[in-house]
Chain A
Amino acid sequence: MTEALLIRGRLFDPGQGLDRVGDLLIEGGKIAWLGEPGLAPKPDVPVLEAQRLIVCPGFIDLHCHLREPGQEDKETIASGTQAAARGGFTTVCAMPNTQPPLDSGAAVDYVLKRATQEGAVRVLPIGCITRGRKGEELAELGELAQAGAVAFSDDGNSVADPRLLRNALEYSRSFGLPVIEHCEDASLSKDGVMNEGWTSARLGLRGIPPAAEETVVARDIALAELTGARLHLAHLTTAGSVELVRRAKEKGLPITAEVTPHHLTLTEERVMGAEWGWLGRVPPRHQPLNSCAYDTSAKVNPPLRTPADVLALNRGLQDGTIDAIATDHAPHRLVDKLCEFDLAAFGISGLETALAALLALVHIGELKLETLIEALTYGPARILGRDTQTGLREGAPADITIFDPEAQWVVDPQAFASKGKNTPLAGYTLRGKVMATIVDGRLVYKDDSL
């Protein structure tokens, strides 16, 4: 499908303030025309009926783990990008904590090549900040940039040595690419498995205090100010972090930040079982634990935090302190999660539930649809310097997501395209479903009901 006509969809593009029913014509991988229903210049092409569906720019995920090369039993570029397509993502940025890590031009090349061969959606690799992600010496950032890396990150770890991070920020300026920091003080978070708070006290689990994130956010902001480099903060989780970024932005520093769908919708209580933690559902303190407690599907780093943090993250998204929503899709095998909580892997397989989980916030009136779509499209696009290629406009690449905001479905991880079935939303009934995903004019995913 390089030519198609989407008819009677609700064309929705927050970047242009567009929200009206219309038709959209795709030709040669680009958006050729959009306008009033029935007026398309070339109606003699395959038609996709989009009535009652939202047609918006394709989602961009700044942060996902495709696991290839090295951990193909958890995910591959093929399975991960299919999951992305099902989730409405037309572009995904692949984090470099693979085996080997993406710290060389050859490794970046490999990912790009595999993505061309097998990728359902566009894959943009992120290169390491330090060689081997060891935090000891700079990776060859120039070589990485030349090979096609779109950012640098040691995601999974902070760059612990402030001097090394300072140098990375200075050096990265010559390529104009952002440095993405995973903010976590490894000493404060040592051996922690969930948020430090009442739930960890109750469950007898070692906690990760909010300060483990905030001390590094504060340090990184100071280094960004010192160097003038572009710093992007990955997966913020605490009210304190949001406040630090807000103040940094007020000073005019070139800092951006992201938040994940799970940190916007779930709280630490989710570890106690599936009935708690979703959209602020907190058990009374005298509630006995049931045998579903210690739910490893809710074990994620950074951890799920408190209702006050979730609220602050939401406010941060609404006032522009947080620029983008990124999934931090982290697929794992069953055995990585079917074990003691302390031993379970951190991470949530998030690509295929992101939109529906976030729409829950829209349905309960906690988030505007335009804020949500903005944070999934233009927000990440600006961070990547791709905002001119984003949007429903004539001549732009036909990267389009079509979803039904009302359709209800039950999350069944076994139906995921991702190899990672690890989701805390299994069995949840969600409202909002991706119906089709179009990348460069190609229909890469279509729901059976369409």
Chain B
Amino acid sequence: MRIREQSQLYPPITKPTASPWQHRHILDLDDFSRQEMEFLFHTADAMKEILGREIKRVPTLRGKTVVTMFYEPSTRTRLSFEMAAKSLGADVTSITAATSSAVKGESLVDTVRTIQALGSDVLVMRHPCSGAPYLVAQQVASSVVNAGDGWHAHPTQALLDLYTIRSHHGGVEGAKAVIIGDILHSRVARSNIWGLTIMGAQVVLCGPPTLLPRFWGQAYPQAIIEPDIEAALADADIIMVLRLQRERQQGGLLPSIEEYVRLYQLDERRLALAKPDALVMHPGPVNEGIEIAPEVAHGAQSVIEEQVANGVAVRMALLYLLAGGAH
């Protein structure tokens, strides 16, 4: 009894480690430091090496359980997480809105408590409501990874974007990064504003005013709002094109898709305004011929496919760091 009390009074001194990793959950990038991101990217380099091997599998997370819970349709993100988890030897369980008790009216909180009771180390979740992962993180002991919540955040997408940029330009310090399109509804834009800014880039946002309202300037003073696409693209180092959903036109936010194409599509003429080595990125799925011209999406400056490939390595690194691999 006394010994226990003493050990509580004097917790064992842990050796200082080189790891700057602080995260239990990955909810957004707003709480990341530059050191943490660098550390993650170093880890992702190692994962990329594993993925280049003939047997793309290591037993690092054997015995750990990763649950993916997708309340919104997704192919690439879910697959990417599942491949990442399996490559590290973790057990993977998948739940979708259609297979969960949500269809029976069970609340999200009850569902995740059940998952917790059955045992999970990392819970990867996508949800149509902004903030849902924050609610879940308060309810469960396992790590929560936000794989996209409503309009709010998609931190792993932004991390793989940064990782992709790093592999081409070495980093983003001082770079001009332009995000074009439906900013208002974009979780990718929001997370990238944080990620790019923390890593030292200057973010420029460009889109029709209905999709990039005035009050955004107050929310993200670190970004520049430039409604004129030519000015936005001038001397850009990085161009991120966002997907335009057809609902935006139906919702009255745009007069027509054709007009959007005329005013905001990234085509070769506009791309020429950016630096010659500017990277063209897109979180996918791409609407070719709408937000981006096909010849740009498949052009020499496009790294869209690379983004997908890097997704697995970055997510492996995240799962590794979260599920105890770092300790």
Binding site for B on A (CB under 8 A): 196-207, 285-286, 288-294, 335, 338-343
User: Cβ of A340 and Cβ of B127 under 8 Å apart?
Assistant: yes
Q: A residues within 8 A CB of B215?
A: 196-198, 200-201, 207
Task: Kindly name the residue among A198, A285, A340, A343 whose own CB sees the greatest number of chain B CB atoms within 10 A.
Answer: A340
Bound Cα distance A289, B30 (Å): 7
* B138 contacts A204, C-beta separation under 8 Å: no
Contact of A342 among B31, B137, B150, B184 (CB under 8 A): B150
Q: Closest 8 interchain pairs by CB? A: A204-B152, A294-B131, A204-B151, A288-B31, A201-B219, A340-B129, A204-B130, A198-B218
Cβ–Cβ contact A294 & B219, under 8 A: no
B130 touches A342 (CB 8 A): yes
Cα(A112)–Cα(B218), bound, Å: 49
Tell me which residues across on chain A come within 8 A of B130, comparing CB atoms.
203-205, 294, 341-342
Known: A289-B30, A291-B27. A339 touches B218 (CB 8 A): no
Residue of B27, B190, B220 touching A204 (CB-CB under 8 A): B190
- Bound together, the chains give a CA A205 to CA B130 distance in angstroms of 6
Of A198, A335, A340, the contact of B135 (CB 8 Å cutoff):
A340
Given A289-B30, A342-B150, A205 and B218 touching (CB < 8 A)? no
A200 to B135, CA, bound (A): 17
Q: Mark B21-43, 1 if CB is under 8 A from A, else 0.
A: 00001011011000000000000
Chain B nearest CB, measured from A143 CB (Å) = 39
**B280-304 Cβ-contact flags toward A at 8 Å (1 or 0):** 0000000000000000000000000
The 16 listed contacts between A and B (C-beta, < 8 Å) are A197-B215, A198-B219, A201-B215, A201-B218, A201-B220, A204-B150, A205-B151, A207-B215, A286-B222, A288-B31, A289-B31, A293-B134, A338-B107, A340-B129, A341-B135, A342-B150
Which B residues are CB-close (under 8 A) to A289?
27-28, 30-31, 134
Is there contact, CB below 8 Å, between A340 and B108?
Answer: yes
A contact face: mostly helix, strand, loop, or mixed: loop
Q: Which chain A residue shows the least CB distance to B184? A: A201
Min Cβ gap B207→A in Å is 13
**Residue of B whose beta carbon sits closest to that of A205:** B130
B138 A292 Cβ-Cβ under 8 A: yes
The reply to whether A293 and B219 form a contact with Cβ atoms under 8 Å apart is no
Take A288-B31, A338-B109, A339-B109 as given contacts and tell me if A201 and B216 are in contact as well, using a CB distance cutoff of 8 Å. Answer: yes
Q: Is B132 an interface residue (CB 8 A)?
A: yes
Extra pairs beyond A197-B218, A204-B150, A204-B152 (18, CB < 8 Å): A196-B213, A198-B219, A200-B215, A201-B184, A202-B190, A204-B149, A204-B187, A206-B151, A285-B220, A286-B30, A288-B30, A289-B28, A291-B25, A292-B138, A294-B130, A339-B108, A341-B129, A342-B129
Q: Are B219 and A202 in contact (CB under 8 A)?
A: yes
Q: How far is the CA of A126 from the CA of B299 in the complex (A)?
A: 67
Partner of B134, one of A201, A206, A291, A338: A291
CB pair A201 B30 closer than 8 Å: no
Query: B218 contacts which chain A residues (CB < 8 A)?
Result: 197-198, 201, 285
A340 and B31 CA atoms in complex are apart in Å by 22
B201 within 8 A of A: no
Q: In chain A, what residue has the closest Cβ to B32?
A: A288
Name B187's closest neighbour in chain A (CB-CB).
A204
Contacts of A341 in B (CB 8 A): 129-131, 135
Residues on A with beta carbons closer than 8 Å to the beta carbon of B107: 335, 338-339
Considering only residues 71-122 of chain B, those with a C-beta below 8 Å from chain A are 107-109
CA distance A198 to B216 in the complex (A): 6
Q: How far is the CB of B109 from chain A (nearest CB, A)?
A: 6
A202 to B132, CA, bound (A): 15
Residues on B with C-beta less than 8 A from A291 are 25, 27, 134, 137-138
In the complex the two chains form, what is the Cα distance from A339 to B111 in whole Å? 11
Closest to A202 in B: B219
> CB-CB < 8 A to B150: which residues of A?
204-205, 342
The proximity string for B residues 139-156 relative to A, scoring 1 for CB distances below 8 Å and 0 otherwise, is 000000000011111000
| Residues from chain A with Cβ under 8 Å of B184 in the complex | 201
**Looking at A199, A293, A335, which has the most chain B CB atoms within 10 Å of its CB?**
A293
Q: Is B170 an interface residue (CB 8 A)?
A: no
Residue B221 lies at the interface, judged by CB distance under 8 Å to chain A: yes
Asked if A339 and B135 sit within 8 Å, CB to CB, the answer is: yes
In the complex, A289 Cα to B146 Cα: how many Å? 14
Q: How far apart are A171's CB and chain B's nearest CB, in angstroms?
A: 36
By beta carbon, the residue of chain B nearest A294 is: B131
A23 to chain B, nearest CB (A): 52
Supposing A201-B213, A204-B190, A288-B30 touch, asked if A293 and B108 sit within 8 A by C-beta, the answer is no
> Which chain A residue shows the least CB distance to B149?
A204
Q: Which residues of A contact B25 (CB under 8 A)?
A: 291
Nearest Cβ distance between residue B88 and chain A, in whole angstroms? 25
Q: When each residue 219-236 of chain B gets 1 if its CB lies under 8 Å from chain A and 0 otherwise, what string results?
A: 111100000000000000
B248 smallest CB distance to A (angstroms): 14
Q: What is the bound-complex CA distance between A282 and B219, given in angstroms?
A: 12
Most buried by A among B127, B130, B151: B130
* Nearest CB of A to B97, in Å: 13
A203 to B135, CA, bound (A): 13
Contact flag A340-B221 (CB < 8 Å), given A201-B213, A201-B216, A288-B30:
no
